Amino acid sequence: MDGSRGVAENLTPGTAVRRESHASGQPGSAVRREWQRFTAGERLARFAVYFFVVAAFVLSLGTVEVIPEFLWDAPAQVQDLLVRMWPPDYAHYPASVHAALVETLHMATLGTVIAVLLAVPLGLLAASNVMPSRTVNTVAKLALVTSRSVNSLVWALLFIAVFGPGALAGTLAIAFRSIGFVGKLLGEALEEAHRGPVEALKASGAPWPSLLVFGYWPQVKPAFWALVLLRWDINVRESAVLGLVGAGGIGVALNTAMNLFQWDRVAVVLLAIFAVVIVAEVVVTWVRGRIL
Amino acid sequence: MNEALAGGGSSGKPVPGSRRAFEPDWLARLGWLAAILYVVYAASLLDFTWARFVTGLEQAARFFDRMFPPDFSRWEAVLKGLKESLEIAVLASVGGILLSLPIGFLAARNLMPAWVNWPARAVIALCRTFHPVIVAIIFVKAVGFGALAGILALVIASVGFIAKLFAEAIEEISLKQVEAVRATGASFMNVIAFGVLPQVAARFIGFSTYQFDSNVRNSTMVGIVGAGGIGAPLFVAFQRFDYDVVCAILIAIVAVVFLCEILSNQVKRVFGEAVQDGREPRRG
Amino acid sequence: MSEAAAGTGAKARSAGSAAPAAAAALELRGLQKSYVRGKPVLRAIDLSIAGTGLTAIIGPSGTGKSTLIRCVNRLVEPSGGQVLLDGEDLTALRGRSLRLARRRIGMVFQEYNLVERLTVIENLLCGRLGHVGALRAWLRRFPPADIDRAFELLDAVGLADFAKTRADALSGGQRQRVGIARALMQQPRLLLADEPTSSLDPKTSVEVMELMRGLCAQRGIPVIVNMHDVELARRFAARIIGMSGGRVVFDGPATALTDEHLKQIYGGEGWLA
């Protein structure tokens, strides 16, 4: 008896179905159960996105000004470029590339440090579970979006206008561009933190700074260091181009060589950038392995 | 008041204070010290001085004075440049996303054998090495001035970003779920479709939309080296000290970037809801 | 322990609140909670917990057991009524005074809620965060007395060898022991436990319950436990409170709980063996 009862109950797990059969006034009648992955609204929204993406793609493809002849010409041009670049003018490296390279690394590192110092408070204010005020969240997010919306080259141009050309403008450009990145991702990591431990600490009467230190920080620590490292990695690359607009670093050397069509020197600069980026990548991987 | 009761049960315990709860972490302290010393050293190297900051403020005042009011008189050129920038961003994003999906899978170390993931990871590393603007320089030389160079440069950048993070996301998935799907006798593609993709789909969408935003921003910059879009007029205006025009162009760029970010947030909302389910189980 | 059962339904606090052992440690008066307007989860709960025994709350899922427990330390905000801890109304407290009240209530969670990336000893010391400033906690400068007590509690829960192990390396039973020790670090006036054994196997469940009852009896701390497992409740609780539909439908000594009562609490009878 008991067994059969259990089976009967198991056969009707969907409450919606049972309710429907009650509504129709025939409690045993079989109602067809349908399964659909998404609700109508979800499907509509998804369709709208697909449509929008395809439309944007087709429109762009149709109207963008591309001269096909240039494409056919590309292999020959690349070959020509490589011939001009080879052999690289290695003697140029100690003369003027090395100092610029070191400056680039300083710009990236110092810029990242400044960015982290400014981004941590903003990230805390932007996380809705840490800072329950919607207004504060929005203001902090707005500040972060502003930082990210302005490209580092534009930040560089702005700081050049203020501080004059040089590495200072470049460092600040790196810093101000990175605030948005670090702050946004930190805020998201905070919002993804498990509520349980934080709740437990709250239940023990811990004040909010302790909640941050013991509830949130251990949870976001790996994500935090990972994103700081990621940003430093990106910044090493970014700081290499800021020189194109005069904000210091190795980009200055690149710009000079290109303007003089000294492609063998361009090759040396590119090789130097390549090497430093690889080294940065190795350092990041190593440190990440140590920390996480 | 419970103090007396607290230790009541344990007799023969070690002398209080004899056990240490935390080892002092000298390495970490040394690290912090080194970091502080470095910052001071690097700041002095880059000429971070108070005097410079003060003169900078004066400069800034003059600069902002010349920026306003923004000069929108050449709005047709601005609009044309923006349109081209957007086209570059859209085409590069589509191309980059389509390429990233397979490359990301191939680069995941937990799914693919070493002889597959190494080449894939090398491709990603190569794509990530140079800043899009530098890649654009090379493409300008290869395919000439114009939007095509910008598109190609940003495709490379997109692959470098999306494929890398996608591969890392796959490497972080729970293999328990993959095992469960595999246990049902599913084929390799089905294991991917039901065991892997559901775990990473939302993040892939996230990376893609993020890269689209990033492409929009970069597409406004590649023009500085002649790879199409609004970058060229912006840079020219800067060089001519036409700061009011610069201001107008920047306002237009920020508006477009904001708009695109809102759009991609909507996309994330439509596709990414699954991530948030189950994050906060309801208490009964 | 039978005093706890005898105190059933005693609403008015006895005079002379100076002696906490005699007075009710916790008293709920007309406690209400509804997450959605018009759909109350708790309907006017009156309860008083006195003495040092273990009180189990049983009832079907979704009947408000967790909500009831969380209303006590206001992790969930009650919609109405009063929560009196040693005569002090907790529902009126805000900010710092709420925090100070929470220090006096320990809590053990179903999912342990340990800070996984911290060591066991650090998790225990988390129980003292209400007493130690954030900066001192950050620098791990806890008072030596706290550290001594942490080690004593580790001995008591049998995890002395795991002090410097990270919490995420522990088994479920070990984690819950840490959870209990952390709650006791607060030297609480009252211990709340929200389904502490639901994620554990039967043997570990019994061990954890035994430990919790023993340690709290030693220290004179009354315990309120939410439970799914009726047998476990019968075995360990002096007093059982049965809830159904947001109301208390049974309140009495464990020995008085009959199948008739269980039918009333859970509904149906097919599940009763």
Would you list the domain boundaries of chain B? 27-65, 75-173+199-273
Give the closest-approach CA distance of C115 to chain B in angstroms. 16
Predicted pLDDT of residue B17:
56
Q: What is the pLDDT of residue B15?
A: 56
State the ipTM, two decimals: 0.79
Contact (CB, 8 A) for A246 and A252: yes
Preceding omega of A209 cis (within 30 degrees of 0): no
Q: Do A199 and C109 count as a contact with CB atoms less than 8 A apart?
A: yes
pLDDT the model gives residue C151: 92
Nearest-CA neighbor of B88 among B173, B151, B141, B24?
B151
Would you state the pLDDT for residue B16? Answer: 54
pLDDT digits (tens, 9 = 90+) for B78-97: 888 898 899 999 999 999 99
* Residues constituting chain A: 292
**Quick check: A143 and A123 in contact, CB under 8 A?**
no
- pLDDT tier at B36, thresholds 50, 70, 90: very high
- Collapsing DSSP states into helix, strand and coil, what is residue A242? helix
Whether C220 contacts chain B with CB within 8 A: yes
Using the beta-carbon criterion (under 8 Å), do B220 and A237 form an inter-chain contact? no
Above 70 in pLDDT, residue B26?
A: yes
Calpha distance B85→B67 (Å, rounded): 23
* pLDDT above 90 as % of chain A: 23
Q: How far apart are CA C183 and CA A256, in angstroms?
A: 67
Residue of C147, C152, C221 lying closest to B21 (CB–CB): C147
Residue carrying the six token digits 């002398």: B15
Specify which of A134-138, B72-76, B146-150, C133-137 reaches the highest per-range mean pLDDT.
Answer: A134-138
Give the phi and the psi of residue C31 in degrees, each rounded to 5.
Answer: -70, 125
Q: Which of C219, C221, C243 has the highest number of chain B CBs within 10 A, making it the mutation to test binding with B?
A: C219
Region of A277 please: left (phi>0), alpha (psi -120 to 50) or beta. alpha
C-alpha distance from B183 to closest chain C C-alpha (Å): 25
Instruction: List C-alpha distances in Å: B262 to A65, A145, A150, C8, C223.
Output: 27, 11, 16, 59, 51
CA angle C124, C222, C192 (to 5 degrees): 55
Instruction: Give the one of C75, C109, C134 whose C-beta lies nearest to A207's C-beta.
Output: C134
Q: How far apart are CA C62 and CA B257, in angstroms?
A: 46
C140, B22: Cβ pair inside 8 Å?
yes
Spell out the SS3 assignment of C17-47.
Answer: CCCCCCCCCEEEEEEEECCECCECCEEEEEE
Alpha-carbon distances, residue C34 vs B6, C39, C77, C192 (angstroms):
38, 6, 10, 21
Q: Which among C103, C109, C133 has the least Cβ separation from residue A200? A: C109
Categorize the per-residue pLDDT at B272 as very low, low, confident or very high, splitting at 50, 70 and 90: low
In this predicted structure, the answer to whether residue A113 has a pLDDT above a threshold of 90 is: yes
Chain B nearest CA to A165, separation (Å): 12
Tokens standing for C210?
A: 């035994």
Q: Once rounded to an integer, what is the mean pLDDT over residues A6-11?
A: 38
Higher pLDDT among residues C78 and C4, named by residue: C78
Superfamily of C51-74+98-266 according to CATH: P-loop containing nucleotide triphosphate hydrolases (3.40.50.300)
Q: Is A240 on the interface with B (CB under 8 A)?
A: yes
Q: Which CATH superfamily is domain B75-173+199-273 in?
A: MetI-like (1.10.3720.10)
Rounded to the nearest angstrom, the gap between the alpha carbon of residue C203 and the centroid of all alpha carbons in its chain is 21
The whole-number average pLDDT for the span B162-171 is: 88
Asked if residues B52 and A19 have their Cβ atoms less than 8 Å apart, the reply is: no
Could you tell me if A110 lies within 8 Å of chain B, comparing CB atoms?
A: yes
Q: What mean pLDDT is predicted for residues C231-253?
A: 91
Q: b or e along A257-290 (b: 16 or more beta carbons within 10 Å of the residue's beta carbon)?
A: bbeeebbbbbbbbbebbeebbeebeeebeeeeee
B144–A67 C-beta distance less than 8 A: yes
For residues B269 and B202, the answer to whether their CB atoms sit within 8 Å is no
Nearest to C113 among A2, A196, A206 (CB): A196
User: pLDDT-based confidence at B193, cuts 50/70/90?
Assistant: confident
- What does the pLDDT average to over C225-237? 91
Which chain C residues are within 8 Å of B10, Cβ to Cβ?
Answer: 152, 155-156
Q: Which fold has domain A89-291?
A: MetI-like fold (1.10.3720)
Give the distance from CA A73 to its chain's centroid: 35
| Chain A residues in contact with chain C using a Cβ-Cβ cutoff of 8 Å | 2, 5-6, 196-197, 199-207, 209-210, 212-215, 218-219, 221-222
One-letter amino acid identity for C20? P
